[in-house]
């Protein structure tokens, strides 16, 4: 009995020592940040890595994932409430105008400094314009969120914040493909989430999982994830366009019922820039059966991720693009790169030809515009304010407004978004006699 007890105590002490060692190691070297990137994505969330990034997110049975409170990576700081930005009180202070910004990574911000996100910029502009008023802008954007999750989050936590205005900037994650289930069909048990969240507070578990995941990635390298193709269902989206309209309508109604003003925001994409989020489905016939091959960023070359003119030689990049489009003639990216190279080399005829071909193959962009049109339809139905960024940010020189993927706004893009929201919110505050004087 004593020998058995000593073995248990020794094991516990070793584990505690290892846990302390890994914690100390992280102070010297950013081990946690490196380890948390080593994940194997759940099949339901091939595009969205957030579900398995245990360093930054908790798993949640209702919302799939939530930001962990009180963490920081670079300039990205999450407060104690689990949102990016400064601390705030759940109970709205008296005589305060509270603005909530709902959305996905475009709202959370693909910029290093919080002050460069559009919620922070909007707050700054409003504070300068109304120095005598107490104004608060809270960034409730969470990376990877669809309208299904945002609607659930409103019921679970956001409505209790008693906002006066709520901006809704969403759409990208709703549109992307899903191999097996739509968001509304995914069921994750609460006890599984709780156990997983508890286990992954340990660095030993996290490191062990990272090693396992790297082995799995090595074994599956260059292998496509596949699923059957069902002709009656087609290829699913995370949120169908019908459910997108239902979710937005329900969210708008709930905001109005809470005596707040919903402000809907269409999602822009850089003109001519192909909208090609992963996973990308390719339907093939194998053994007389239709099979869907899901191409993720890990299973294809970095052809799209490589920046244009990275080599400093447009001719060599053109040659590479022309070879690529022969092997995958349905992918608009190769045509787009060829067009840009032809333009840089002074061949405007071929540039226009390949821009046209890229646009004709970019079916996701047209589908996305249909989702934006739903947003416009909702604003008419409920007489809600609209900030039509899809039109506003596609005028003039748009290349300076987007990050490398063509739809996340960069610092300049966030400034433009804040300016457009400010125009609407400024007027609403000025002429609403029910708000604080």
Cβ proximity of 52 and 36 under 8 Å: no
The model's pLDDT over 152-181, given as tens digits with 9 standing for 90+, comes to: 999 999 999 999 999 999 999 999 988 888
By CB atoms closer than 10 A (0-12, 13-18, 19+), residue 72 is exposed
Which of 63-67, 208-212, 311-315 is predicted least confidently? Answer: 208-212
**What does 381-420 look like in DSSP terms, one character per residue?**
HHT--EE-HHHHTTSS--GGGB-TTSSSB-HHHHHHHHHH
- The pLDDT-based confidence of 115 (bands split at 50, 70, 90) is very high
- The pLDDT-based confidence of 294 (bands split at 50, 70, 90) is confident
**What does 51-84 look like in DSSP terms, one character per residue?**
GG-TTTEEEETTTEEEEPSSEEETTEEE-TTSSB
**Count of CB atoms within 10 A of residue 118's CB?**
30
The model's pLDDT over 412-433, given as tens digits with 9 standing for 90+, comes to: 999 999 999 999 999 998 877 5
Mean pLDDT of 117-135: 95
Between CA 79 and CA 81 the distance in angstroms is 5
243: left (phi over 0), alpha (psi -120 to 50) or beta: alpha
Distances (CA, A) of 47 to 89, 143, 298, 361: 33, 11, 11, 21
Positive/negative CA dihedral, 59, 65, 71, 75: positive
Q: Which of these, 53, 76, 58, lies nearest to 68 by C-alpha position?
A: 58
pLDDT at 435: 62
The model's pLDDT over 344-366, given as tens digits with 9 standing for 90+, comes to: 899 999 999 999 999 999 988 88
pLDDT at 258: 96
List every span in the chain annotated with CATH 3.40.50.1110. Answer: 69-176+238-273+365-430
Domain 307-361 top-level CATH class:
mainly alpha
pLDDT at 423: 96
Cβ proximity of 103 and 170 under 8 Å: yes
Between CA 36 and CA 22 the distance in angstroms is 14
Between CA 299 and CA 166 the distance in angstroms is 39
Cβ proximity of 408 and 402 under 8 Å: yes
Mean pLDDT of 255-281: 90
Selected residue with higher pLDDT from 149 and 318: 149
List every span in the chain annotated with CATH 1.25.40. Answer: 307-361
Cβ proximity of 309 and 324 under 8 Å: no
Between CA 137 and CA 120 the distance in angstroms is 7
Between CA 347 and CA 333 the distance in angstroms is 19
Distances (CA, A) of 165 to 120, 122, 124, 228: 15, 13, 16, 44
**Most confident stretch, 65-74, 272-281, 342-351:** 342-351
pLDDT at 329: 86
Residue 68 DSSP code: P
Query: Between 3.60.20.10, 3.30.2090.10, 3.40.50.1110, 3.30.390.10, what CATH number should domain 69-176+238-273+365-430 receive?
Result: 3.40.50.1110
Helix (H) or strand (E) holding 15: helix 2-28
pLDDT of 116 > 80? The answer is: yes
- The pLDDT-based confidence of 312 (bands split at 50, 70, 90) is low
Between CA 424 and CA 318 the distance in angstroms is 44
Between CA 264 and CA 376 the distance in angstroms is 8
Between CA 271 and CA 274 the distance in angstroms is 8
Between CA 376 and CA 392 the distance in angstroms is 14
Its pTM stands at: 0.89
pLDDT at 22: 54
pLDDT of 122 > 90? The answer is: yes
pLDDT of 33 > 60? The answer is: no
Beta bridge partners of 135: 97
Selected residue with higher pLDDT from 8 and 315: 315
Between CA 224 and CA 294 the distance in angstroms is 6
């Amino acid at each position: 009995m004593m020998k058995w007890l000593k073995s248990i105590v020794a094991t516990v002490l070793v584990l505690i020592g290892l846990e302390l060692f890994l914690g100390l190691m992280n102070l010297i070297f950013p081990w946690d940040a490196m380890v948390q990137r080593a994940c194997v994505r759940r099949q339901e969330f091939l595009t969205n890595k957030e579900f398995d990034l245990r360093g930054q997110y908790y798993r949640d049975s209702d919302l799939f994932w939530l930001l962990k409170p009180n963490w920081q990576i670079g300039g990205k700081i999450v407060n104690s409430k689990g949102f990016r930005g400064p601390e705030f009180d759940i109970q709205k202070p008296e005589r305060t105008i509270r603005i909530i910004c709902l959305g996905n990574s475009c709202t959370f911000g693909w910029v290093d400094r919080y002050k460069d996100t559009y919620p922070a910029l909007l707050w700054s502009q409003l504070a300068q314009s109304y120095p005598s008023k107490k104004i608060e802008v809270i960034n409730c954007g969470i990376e990877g969120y669809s309208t299904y999750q945002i609607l659930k989050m409103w019921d679970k936590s956001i409505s209790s914040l008693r906002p006066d205005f709520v901006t809704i900037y969403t759409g990208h994650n709703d549109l992307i493909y899903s191999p097996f289930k739509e968001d509304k069909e995914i069921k994750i048990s609460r006890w599984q989430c709780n156990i997983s969240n508890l286990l992954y507070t340990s660095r030993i578990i996290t490191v062990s999982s990272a090693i396992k995941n790297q082995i799995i990635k090595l074994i599956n390298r260059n292998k496509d994830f596949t699923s059957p193709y069902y002709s009656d269902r087609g290829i699913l989206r995370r949120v169908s366009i019908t459910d997108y309209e239902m979710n937005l309508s329900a969210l708008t109604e709930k905001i109005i019922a809470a005596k707040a003003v919903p402000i809907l925001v269409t999602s822009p994409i850089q003109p001519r820039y192909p909208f090609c989020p992963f996973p990308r489905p390719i339907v093939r016939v194998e053994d007389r059966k239709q099979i869907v091959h899901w191409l993720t960023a890990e299973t294809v070359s970095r052809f799209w991720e490589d920046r244009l003119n990275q080599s400093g030689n447009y001719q060599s990049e053109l040659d590479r693009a022309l070879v690529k489009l022969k092997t995958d003639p349905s992918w608009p990216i190769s045509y787009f790169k060829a067009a840009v190279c032809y333009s840089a080399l002074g061949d405007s005829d071929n540039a226009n030809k390949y821009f046209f071909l890229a646009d004709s193959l970019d079916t996701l962009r047209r589908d996305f515009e249909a989702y934006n049109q739903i947003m416009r339809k909702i604003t008419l139905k409920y007489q809600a304010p609209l900030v039509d960024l899809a039109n506003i940010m596609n005028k003039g020189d748009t290349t300076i407004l987007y990050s490398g993927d063509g739809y996340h706004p960069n610092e300049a893009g966030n400034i433009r978004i804040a300016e457009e929201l400010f125009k609407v919110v400024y007027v609403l505050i000025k002429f609403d006699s029910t708000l604080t004087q």
